[in-house]
Amino acid sequence: MKTIKELPQHDRPREKMKEKGAAALNNEELVQVILGRGVEGHDVRSMSQKIAKILEEKKGSLADSDLKGIRGIGEAKSFQLLAAFEIARRFTKGDAVKINNTEDIIPLLQDIAAKQQEHFVCISLNGANEIIEKRVVTVGLLDRSQVHPREVFADAIADRAAAVILAHNHPSGDIRPSDADLKMHNQLTEAAQILGLRVIDHIIISKKAYFSFSK
């Protein structure tokens, strides 16, 4: 694993946070920002990886005893982490929707599944894969022209999103991607990569079935 100093400037957590906001960072990167630095022989990225794993296992309910076995985490850093997580817990919204897999996405697309016109949707997410916003980008255009990356990603960038989910419906009921779908998918994923956005999935949905580009 590369150290922080070995990472490109734009990939370092503090620089990324400055440019895109805290929501764009994943769990390990957020812990790295809180810790600031590691100790001799134990880089902050390695420490943060272990802490983030514990957080996921404990579902955010962290205790001082959970951190004692991590080299470099003494009492001061332990209390620093616990205080940061506690204040976050007190102000966390209880209605955040987190996407863990494709099955979590499908209920969010039922409103376009039976539409008689093609609807293209972009869902923006933060670094924890929690939904920031869902938007219909275009209506009735997929049969005539490609959806432009500028239209798809403009709002996601304004959201300071870390990732997106793309989706569109097939009114015909045939969920197999067409040549135009494949071309559009490749264009949008390449554009997202340039913009620093992860494409979690691209779904084609109809009344009775769906197709996932990630499967």
Looking at the whole model, is its pTM more than 0.75?
A: no
Percent of the chain with pLDDT over 90: 43
Check if the beta carbon of residue 137 is closer than 8 Å to that of residue 120: yes
Which positions ≥6 away from 31 have C-beta within 8 Å? Answer: 47, 48, 51, 52, 55, 81
**103 burial via Cβ count (<10 Å: 0-12, 13-18, 19+):** exposed
Identify which of 39-48, 60-69, 171-180 has the greatest average pLDDT.
171-180
Q: Domain 102-212 belongs to what topology?
A: Cytidine Deaminase; domain 2 (3.40.140)
What pLDDT digit, counting tens, does each position of 130-146 carry? 999 999 998 886 554 46
pLDDT at 20: 75
What is the spatial order of strands in the sheet that 119-125 belongs to?
A: 131-139, 119-125, 163-169, 198-205, 210-212
What pLDDT digit, counting tens, does each position of 22-46 carry? 877 888 888 888 888 776 667 788 8
Mean pLDDT of 77-99: 77
pLDDT at 59: 63
Q: How would you classify the pairing of strands 131-139 and 163-169?
A: unpaired
Which positions ≥6 away from 183 have C-beta within 8 Å? Answer: 146
pLDDT at 145: 47
pLDDT at 47: 85
pLDDT for residue 200 is more than 80: yes
Strands (E) across the chain are located at 119-125, 131-139, 163-169, 198-205, 210-212
Identify which of 51-55, 75-79, 106-110, 137-141 has the greatest average pLDDT.
106-110
